Amino acid sequence: MEKHYFYMRRAMDLAQLGMGSVSPNPMVGCVIVCEDQIIAEGYHEYYGGPHAEPNAIAKVDDPELLNKSTVYVTLEPCAHFGKTPPCANLLVDKGVKKVVIGAVDTNPLVGGKGIAIMRNAGIEVIHGILEADVHQQNRRFFTFMEQNRPYITLKWAQSIDGFVARENFDSKWISNQYSRQLVHRWRTEEDAIMVGTNTARYDNPKLNVRDWDGKNPIRIVVDRMLQLDRSLALFDQQQPTICFNIVEEAVFENLEYVKLDPDFQIADIFKVLYERKIQSVLIEGGTFLLNKIIEAELWDEARVFTGQVHFNKGIPAPRIIGVRKDRLDVMGDALELWMRK
């Protein structure tokens, strides 16, 4: 039994290498073990590319070994013809002896069917090894599949006395350069970043990745009445941008205006994002938008920096109730990590 956890952990480490490249697919890793030795490894490397299992199988030198091998895979092998043929059938065709799975795939196209295909073919299948960890690793994918909305991470920085900005909306220099660099890393890990009107107006954020290596996310802004100046950095068309409003529908190169009903709710925005396969969103402010999402209980995770400054008065930080996961020190800034459940 012990061994299962060891190999599954290795498969999870491989899966993690797909972070930032596989969305909206899950991160999946695969390890093939013959007589207590790893004979091949693979992972899902990029969206649209081969799945973890064929990548691992391709690395096996002697296919004869497969009929006495155990395949460890973090997610249930797929049962559908998608961008690639079903992985469950591949494992059957290759004659593997046993398959050990982390979590069952809740994609309705798969959902237990992969396991059934393999069991019907006589393969011994067990699942649920490190299941909670695999769920945590693919929390964006599972939330997207099960709740039909993107996985939402809230982020803000506050002063020691609980303000996100001074009264004139000046919010510069709450957090230090290391915290700000960490945010750039986070931007590479989500499909999109979203801000409200005031943040776009007063902070004029570029919402791109500068202090880390990785892909730029899609930018999303809510500008109800289309009052934002088109010269703001976020409208520079250097990266795909969506502007939600109630005035007009329009598409330019890399910049799209999506019109919603005048009484639209946060859930309506998330529905559009779901339909566009945007699996995760980092909400970078401001407090109006953050509070709306907190009230609607449509967030999953919050990351809150507290910097070493006092504002005495200003714009109060959002307040959340949930399960706090951790409190870390980022070179003097306190970073609290909250999970909603």
User: Known catalytic residues?
Assistant: 53
Under rule CB under 6 A, how many of the chain's residues touch ligand AOF?
17
For residue 244, the minimal CB distance to Zn ion (Å) is 34
Q: Is 83 in the site for ligand AOF (CB under 6 A)?
A: yes
21 or 181: CB nearest Zn ion: 21
Which parts of 153-172 interact with ligand AOF (CB under 6 A)?
none
Rg (CA), the chain: 23
Does residue 20 bind ligand AOF (CB under 6 A)? Answer: no
Cα separation, 85 vs 126, whole angstroms:
22
Is there binding between residue 77 and ligand AOF (CB under 6 A)?
yes
**CA separation for the pair 289, 266 (Å, rounded):** 9
Segment near Zn ion (CB under 5 A); pick from 17-25, 77-85, 200-208, 273-281: 77-85
Q: Is 51 in the site for Zn ion (CB under 5 A)?
A: yes
Kindly state the smallest distance separating residue 41's Cβ from Zn ion, in Å: 16
In the chain, the N- to C-terminal Cα span, in Å, equals 29
Q: Least distance in Å: CB of 219 to ligand AOF?
A: 25
List the one residue from 78, 129, 182, 304 that touches Zn ion (CB under 5 A). Answer: 78
Backbone angles phi, psi at 6, to 5 degrees: -60, -50
Which of residues 8, 14, 28, 32 is near ligand AOF by CB under 6 A?
A: 28
Strands 250-252 vs 69-75: parallel, antiparallel or unpaired? unpaired
Coil, helix or strand for 33? strand
Q: What are 42's strand-pairing partners? A: 30
Site residues for ligand AOF, 38-57, by CB under 6 A, read: 44, 51-53
Concatenated DSSP letters of 190-233: SSEEEE-HHHHHHH----S--SSSSPPPEEEEE-TT--S-TTSG
**Span from 80-88, 165-173, 237-245, 302-310 in contact with ligand AOF (CB under 6 A):** 80-88
Burial class (CB within 10 angstroms; exposed 0-12, middle 13-18, buried 19+) of 210:
exposed
Q: Where does this chain bind ligand AOF (CB under 6 A)?
A: 25-26, 28, 44, 51-53, 75, 77-78, 82-84, 87, 105, 107, 110
